Amino acid sequence: MHITPGALAVGLVIISSCLGTARAEDASPAPAGFTSLFTGTDLTGWAGAVDNYEVRDGAIVCKPGQGGTLHTKESYGDFIVRFEFLLPPGGNNGLAIRYPGSGDPAYTGMCELQVLDSEHPKYAKLDPRQYHGSAYGMAAARRGHLRPTGEWNEQQVTVQGSRITVELNGTTILDADLKDVTEFLDGKAHPGKDLKEGFFGFAGHGDSVMFRRIAIKRL
């Protein structure tokens, strides 16, 4: 088909405009009072297991079969973090809360908040403190509020002192004061439970869980 120079110029303007819109959506602005933790295009501002994660379709993704903790370069005490996540079937990841930068965040950090496809058959016999939104091994979250696997979920986590609150798709599924926890899964100690500050991050377990629109607010 013959295309005139004028039509080509108009087409290029339209394409350029569309690409600009896509980039803007990938790096969506943070809510008022929040700071974005993710550019939408690369892992600027992140440290730790950066080689085991990638940016795909405007989201941070753990590479298949890889793992480790990808964490912020900045440290946080009390904060609110908001983000969206998408679970593949059987997907497993976690949120590292007040992570010191080494070790297993479920134990060396204040806690690991589970990010899990809780209703997958392979997880049918877990301890209640291992399902999505739970402070791993310490406090169980309410179940039944995840969207169907493959759909994006919205989550907000508030960390203030020793209390953690998790809101999933508009419903509070966890409101726990970890200083009151005295019984732990398998009796395993959580030496980082009382940390006052640390990094925020994602604790990958080899599944391609996706995270986007990640924003944080210091309290």
Per-residue pLDDT tens digits for 52-73: 999 999 999 999 999 999 999 9
More confident site: 4 or 139:
139
Residue 14: per-residue pLDDT? 37
Residue 191: per-residue pLDDT? 95
Residue 131: per-residue pLDDT? 98
User: What is the share, in percent, of the chain residues with pLDDT greater than 90?
Assistant: 85
Q: Tell me what the mean pLDDT of segment 83-89 comes to.
A: 97
Going from the C-alpha of 109 to that of each of 37, 53, 129, 152, the distances in angstroms are 20, 20, 16, 27
Residue 121 has pLDDT above 60, yes or no: yes
CA-based nearest residue to 62, from 201, 200, 207, 199: 207
Q: What do you get for the CA distance between the two ends of the chain, in Å?
A: 60
Task: Judge contact between 146 and 168, C-beta under 8 A.
Answer: yes
What kind and span of H or E run contains 218? strand 210-218
Global pTM value: 0.86
Q: Tell me what the mean pLDDT of segment 135-152 comes to.
A: 97
Task: Give 155-164 pLDDT, tens digit per residue.
Answer: 999 999 999 9
Give the span between the Cα atoms of 188 and 208, in whole angstroms: 28
pLDDT band for position 28 (cuts 50, 70, 90): low
Residue 165 has pLDDT above 80, yes or no: yes
Beta strand residue intervals within 11-129, DSSP E = 35-36, 46-48, 53-56, 59-62, 67-76, 79-86, 92-99, 111-116
Q: Tell me what the mean pLDDT of segment 89-109 comes to.
A: 97
Q: Tell me what the mean pLDDT of segment 89-95 comes to.
A: 97
CA-based nearest residue to 34, from 82, 97, 91: 82
User: What is the share, in percent, of the chain residues with pLDDT greater than 70?
Assistant: 87
pLDDT band for position 27 (cuts 50, 70, 90): low
More confident site: 29 or 167:
167
